[in-house]
C-alpha cells in the first residue's frame, strides 16, 4: 500500500474515534524498500483528557536505552573491543574490556559477562596498538574469560576456532575449529567436544534456540547456501530454507536468515520456523554483508550493508539498526573496509567509558 493510500484509509475510518498519526520516512536507496513508520492512536471521548502516547523514534530509543542501561553494540576483533555510540554515530574502543588478552576474534555470552575467542596468548596493553592486528600469529586455541579480561582459560584441544556461539545458559559453545576442522560443540565444564558431521558449514553468534534443544547453522555448497537445524541429542538435521547467516530471534521460535541470490546484490532477510514453515519476509536491502544480530528482547536487529544511492559516495559500509515493531531503521556508524563488521548487542555501562578508535 502506498503512503497516500494508507493515509486515506486512516482518514476514512469515520467517526468511531479520533485518530492521531505520525508519519516518518527514513530515506532508503531502493524503491522496493521504503522504510515507513506509522504510529497511530485511537481514542474515544473518554480518553481525551488523558495523555496520548506516541512511539518514540528508533534513534531516540537507542539514545535513551544507551544512557539508561548501557545498551550498545560490541565487537571483538584483533585484540580490540569496540562499542557503538548511538548518539554520535561512532565506533569507539572500550579499553576496559578483555585487558591484557590477545585474540583474533571473539563473541560475548548472552548475559554479556563473558567472552569466548580465538586466543593467542597474553599481551599487555594490546589495545594501545591502534594499527596492530593483535600481535596474533601462529597457532591459537579456544579461550574464555570474563569481559574485563580476568579468569582466562584455554582449551588447547580446540585450535583456531571461529563462528563461536554461546548456549543460552553459557555452559556450551558451538563453533568451527580443529582438530576435525568442522562443526563442534564444546562443554565448558568438562572441555569435552562433540563433532557434528558437517564440513564447509558455520555458526552465527545466536545459533541456539531459546530452550537449548536446537542449533541452527549455514551449510555452504557450490553456488548455494542452506539453513539447517540440528538436534544435539538425536543428531537429527532438518533443512529449513535456502539461504544463510542464520540466527535465532531471542525469546521466540523463529529463525532469521538472509538470501542475496547469486549476484549478492539485492538481499532479503526472512524469518522462518525451525521446521521450515511460515517463512516470511522481514525486509529487503542492498548488499548486506552480515546476519541480523538481535537484541535480547528480540525487538532490534543490527546488520552491515553497503552505502546506498542517496547516501554520501564516501560511505563504504554502514552499521544499521532495524526495529521489528514498525519496520523503521537508522544507521549508527560508518565503517571502512578495514573495520570490524561482527557486532552483538550488550548492556553494560562500564564498557561505555570509551576513547575514539
User: Confidence class of residue 355 from pLDDT cuts 50, 70 and 90?
Assistant: low
Does an H or E element contain 330, and which? strand 328-335
- For 127, other C-beta atoms within 10 Å of its C-beta total 24
**What's the confidence (pLDDT) of residue 25?**
35
Q: Give strand pairing partners of 193.
A: 186
**What's the confidence (pLDDT) of residue 175?**
95
Give the separation between CA 147 and CA 143, rounded to whole angstroms: 12
**What's the confidence (pLDDT) of residue 147?**
95
What domains appear along the chain, each with residue ranges and CATH number?
A: 3-47 (no CATH), 58-356 (2.120.10.30)
The answer to whether 129 and 97 are in contact (CB under 8 A) is no
- For 132, other C-beta atoms within 10 Å of its C-beta total 15
pLDDT digits (tens, 9 = 90+) for 121-174: 654 334 433 334 455 666 789 999 999 999 999 998 898 899 999 999 999 999
Residue 188 has pLDDT above 80, yes or no: yes
Does an H or E element contain 6, and which? helix 3-11
What is the DSSP secondary structure assignment for residue 199, as one 8-state letter?
Answer: S
pLDDT digits (tens, 9 = 90+) for 195-221: 998 888 999 999 999 999 999 999 998
Evaluate the CA torsion angle 151, 250, 340, 176 in order and state its sign. Answer: positive
Give the separation between CA 336 and CA 341, rounded to whole angstroms: 9
Q: Give strand pairing partners of 286.
A: 266
The full 3-state SS of 8-77, as one line of letters, equals HHHHCCCCCCEEEEEEEEECCCCCCCCEEEEEEEEECHHHCCCCCCCCCCHHHHHHHHHHHHCEEEEEEE
**What's the confidence (pLDDT) of residue 353?**
64
Place of cell 572441555: 191
Residue 33 has pLDDT above 50, yes or no: no
pTM, to two decimals: 0.82
Of 315, 287, 210, nearest to 252 by C-alpha is 210
Peptide bond into 179 cis (omega under 30): yes
Residue 2 has pLDDT above 70, yes or no: no
**What's the confidence (pLDDT) of residue 137?**
63
User: Confidence class of residue 10 from pLDDT cuts 50, 70 and 90?
Assistant: very low
Amino acid at each position: 500500500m502506498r503512503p497516500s493510500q494508507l493515509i486515506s484509509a486512516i482518514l476514512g475510518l469515520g467517526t468511531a474515534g479520533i485518530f492521531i498519526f505520525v508519519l516518518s520516512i527514513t530515506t532508503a536507496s531502493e524503491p522496493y524498500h521504503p522504510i515507513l513508520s506509522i504510529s497511530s492512536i485511537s481514542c474515544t471521548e473518554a480518553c481525551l483528557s488523558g495523555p496520548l502516547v506516541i512511539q518514540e523514534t528508533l534513534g531516540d530509543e537507542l539514545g535513551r536505552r544507551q544512557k539508561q542501561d548501557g545498551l550498545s553494540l560490541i565487537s571483538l576483533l584483533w585484540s580490540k573491543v569496540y562499542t557503538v555510540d548511538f548518539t554520535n554515530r561512532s565506533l569507539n574502543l572500550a579499553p576496559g574490556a578483555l585487558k591484557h588478552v590477545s585474540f583474533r576474534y571473539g563473541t560475548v555470552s548472552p548475559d554479556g559477562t563473558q567472552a569466548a575467542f580465538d586466543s593467542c596468548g597474553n599481551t599487555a596493553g594490546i589495545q594501545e596498538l591502534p594499527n596492530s592486528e593483535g600481535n596474533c600469529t601462529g597457532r591459537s586455541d579456544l579461550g574464555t574469560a570474563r569481559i574485563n579480561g580476568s579468569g582466562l582459560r584455554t582449551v588447547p584441544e580446540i585450535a583456531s576456532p571461529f563462528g563461536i556461539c554461546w548456549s543460552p545458559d553459557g555452559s556450551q559453545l558451538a563453533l568451527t575449529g580443529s582438530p576435525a576442522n568442522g562443526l563442534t560443540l564444546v562443554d565448558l565444564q568438562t572441555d569435552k567436544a562433540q563433532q557434528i558431521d558437517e564440513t564447509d558449514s558455520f555458526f552465527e553468534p545466536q545459533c541456539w534456540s531459546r530452550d537449548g534443544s536446537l542449533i541452527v547453522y549455514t551449510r555452504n555448497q557450490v553456488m548455494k547456501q542452506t539453513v539447517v537445524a540440528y538436534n544435539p541429542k538425536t543428531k537429527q538435521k532438518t533443512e529449513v530454507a535456502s539461504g544463510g547467516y542464520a540466527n535465532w530471534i531471542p525469546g521466540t521460535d523463529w529463525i532469521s536468515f538472509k538470501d542475496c541470490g547469486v549476484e549478492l546484490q539485492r538481499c532479503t532477510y526472512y524469518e522462518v520456523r525451525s521446521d521450515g514453515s511460515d517463512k516470511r519476509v522481514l525486509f529487503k536491502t542492498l548488499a548486506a554483508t552480515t546476519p541480523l544480530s538481535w537484541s535480547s528482547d528480540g525487538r532490534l536487529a543490527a546488520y552491515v550493508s553497503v552505502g546506498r544511492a542517496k547516501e554520501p559516495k564516501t560511505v563504504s559500509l554502514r552499521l544499521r539498526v532495524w526495529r521489528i515493531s514498525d519496520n523503521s531503521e537508522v544507521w549508527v556508524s560508518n565503517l571502512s573496509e578495514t573495520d570490524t563488521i561482527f557486532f552483538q548487542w550488550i548492556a553494560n555501562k562500564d564498557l561505555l567509558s570509551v576513547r575514539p578508535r
